[in-house]
């Protein structure tokens, strides 16, 4: 990076700050330097309070009028991804194999810009909280924030968030009532039997048939769940035995991502899959265990909060696109909006752009000002 000087919120542009954050990305749960930098910037704005160490590295800044009134929370995410980015901007990642390929650096810049505006136009009633949440990518951050003892201090009546989304016109606000993002969770099934000489497989216990049945059944189970909504299982990995012609296998692993529109249907899918694994293990005399990871609740938008976003977007001149169906991707914001009420929207990052998590994805800097304006309008309408 040409300019190694640390930009600050009073003297430098928000774009410079975004590029600085992009240059120093950190993985989920390890966002220590990022959080420290955010705290330094927020201190310059003389807020009412700054809380840190929320769910590990989380930071929340509070602007409180001291008067009764509504409380609002705006959320962004601190974490980057284990992806090697592929572009030659001068602010590209300083670290090999880690980059902000989901645009969370852009989301942080939006919320920092919002903080600056709020500091200049402090609430006359109620209070506003800006949350910089850790570990969104692994699905644990928002839930950990809600479970943290400090959450009581930042709990608000309504919470808001956005996520940039390539392939939609730049600055479009894509939104819907009800389920906005699907629930999803990762299932890892480990089967274990006993190896045998490949000439005498009958003397061992092979996971072969159980694995074959699971591969087929993961395709069929969603069709048998009665819920009238999207439900799917995507097998992402499978593995059995060793690469040795002389040995019949003992161990197998299959990993799949379960996805549904509602948490209720997810529970049905989880039960159906777990029961099948148990039954197959018994039938084939295998030991087994199941691990669940990356658990995301469905993210459900509140009708009134959606209307507030739509009103704000119309005021700022951003086109609103109303969606019929939820997005398939997951967002852990559901844990926050589920704890109170709230809404999130997808923010068009430009048509014909590489998708988030692609190595050549780039966050468009034009969204910083626009995103901060929309949130500021939501804030102005309510406080």
Q: Which stretch binds Zn ion (CB under 5 A): 97-105, 190-198, 206-214, 319-327?
A: 97-105
CB-CB contact of 43 with 10 (8 Å): no
In angstroms, give the least distance from the CB of 119 to Zn ion.
26
The interface region with Zn ion, picked from 102-110, 153-161, 301-309, 361-369 by CB under 5 A, is 102-110
Q: What angle is formed at CA 359 by the lines to CA 136 and CA 351, rounded to 5 degrees? A: 90
Number of residues that bind Zn ion (CB under 5 A): 1
Task: Tell me the closest approach of the beta carbon of residue 162 to Zn ion, in angstroms.
Answer: 10
The nearer residue to Zn ion, 102 or 115, going by C-beta atoms, is 102
Which of these ranges, 98-106, 122-130, 220-228, 341-349, lies near Zn ion under the rule CB under 5 A?
A: 98-106
Candidate ranges 100-108, 120-128, 181-189, 333-341; the one touching Zn ion (CB under 5 A): 100-108
Nearer to Zn ion, 42 or 102 (CB): 102
Residue 102 found at the interface with Zn ion (CB under 5 A): yes
CB of 139 to Zn ion, least distance (A): 10
Q: Which residues pair with 237 in a beta bridge?
A: 255
If the CB atoms of residues 54 and 102 are measured against Zn ion, the closer one turns out to be 102
Q: How many CA atoms lie within 13 A of 28 on its CB side?
A: 16
Q: Between residues 102 and 140, which has the closer beta carbon with respect to Zn ion? A: 102
Q: Which is nearer to Zn ion, 102 or 281 (CB)?
A: 102
**Least spacing, CB of residue 248 vs Zn ion, in Å:** 41
Binding region for Zn ion (CB under 5 A) out of 9-17, 94-102, 237-245, 369-377: 94-102
Q: How far is the CB of 120 from Zn ion (least distance, A)?
A: 28
Q: Is 279 left (phi over 0), alpha (psi -120 to 50) or beta?
A: alpha
Q: List the one residue out of 151, 123, 134, 144 whose CA is nearest residue 376.
A: 123
Residue nearest to Zn ion (CB): 102
- In the chain, where do the E strands start and end? 49-54, 58-64, 71-77, 127-133, 158-165, 173-175, 178-181, 183-192, 196-197, 231-240, 247-248, 251-260, 287-296, 299-301, 320-322, 342-348
**CA geometry: angle at 137 spanning 116 and 275, to 5°?**
145
Q: Which of 90, 74, 9 is nearest to 44 (CA)?
A: 9
Kindly tell me which of 233 and 344 has the beta carbon lying closer to Zn ion: 344
CA dist list (Å): 296 to 64, 182, 258, 293: 31, 8, 10, 9
CB-nearer residue toward Zn ion: 84 or 216? 84
- In this structure, what token pair is assigned to residue 193? 């039997």
Rounded least distance, CB 185 to Zn ion, Å = 16
Q: How far is the CB of 80 from Zn ion (least distance, A)?
A: 9
Does residue 380 contact residue 196 with C-beta atoms inside 8 Å? no
Backbone conformation region of residue 69, classed left if phi is above 0, alpha if psi is from -120 to 50, else beta: left
What is the nearest approach in angstroms of Zn ion to the Cβ of residue 18? 15
Please tell me the distance from the alpha carbon of residue 127 to that of residue 379, in angstroms, as a whole number. 10
Stretch of residues binding Zn ion (CB under 5 A), selected from 96-104, 125-133, 302-310, 312-320: 96-104
- C-beta of 281 vs 336, nearer to Zn ion: 336
Q: Given the rule CB under 5 A, which residues bind Zn ion?
A: 102
């Amino acid at each position: 990076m040409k300019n190694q000087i640390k930009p600050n919120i009073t003297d430098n542009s928000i774009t410079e700050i975004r590029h600085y954050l992009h240059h120093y990305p950190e993985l989920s749960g390890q966002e220590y330097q990022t959080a420290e930098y955010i705290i330094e910037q927020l201190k310059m704005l003389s807020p009412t309070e700054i809380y840190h160490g929320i769910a590990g590295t989380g930071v929340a800044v509070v602007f409180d009028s001291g008067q009764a009134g509504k409380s609002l929370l705006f959320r962004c995410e601190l974490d980057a991804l284990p992806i090697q980015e592929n572009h030659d901007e001068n602010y590209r990642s300083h670290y090999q194999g880690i980059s902000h390929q989901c645009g969370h650096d852009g989301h942080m810049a939006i919320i920092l810009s919002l903080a600056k505006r709020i500091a200049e136009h402090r609430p006359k009633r109620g209070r506003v909280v800006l949350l910089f949440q850790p570990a969104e990518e692994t699905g644990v951050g928002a839930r950990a924030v809600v479970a943290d003892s400090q959450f009581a201090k930042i709990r608000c009546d309504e919470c808001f968030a956005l996520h940039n989304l390539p392939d939609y016109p730049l600055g479009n606000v894509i939104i819907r009532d009800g389920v906005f993002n699907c629930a999803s969770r990762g299932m890892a099934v480990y089967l274990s039997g006993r190896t045998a000489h490949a000439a005498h497989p009958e003397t061992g216990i092979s996971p072969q048939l159980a694995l074959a049945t699971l591969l087929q059944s993961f395709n069929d189970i969603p069709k048998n769940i009665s819920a009238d909504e999207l439900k799917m299982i995507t097998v992402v990995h499978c593995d059995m035995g060793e690469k040795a012609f002389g040995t019949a296998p003992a161990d197998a692993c299959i990993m799949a991502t379960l996805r549904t529109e509602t948490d209720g249907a997810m529970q049905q899918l989880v039960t159906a899959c777990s029961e099948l694994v148990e039954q197959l293990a018994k039938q084939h005399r295998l030991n087994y265990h199941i691990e669940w990871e990356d658990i995301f609740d469905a993210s459900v938008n509140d009708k009134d909060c959606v209307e507030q976003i739509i009103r704000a977007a119309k005021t700022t001149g951003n086109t609103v696109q109303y969606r019929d169906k939820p997005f398939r991707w997951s967002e852990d914001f559901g844990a926050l909006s589920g704890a109170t009420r709230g809404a999130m929207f997808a923010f068009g990052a430009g048509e014909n752009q590489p998708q988030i998590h692609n190595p050549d994805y780039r966050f468009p800097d034009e969204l910083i000002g626009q995103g901060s304006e929309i949130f500021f309008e939501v804030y102005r309408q309510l406080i």
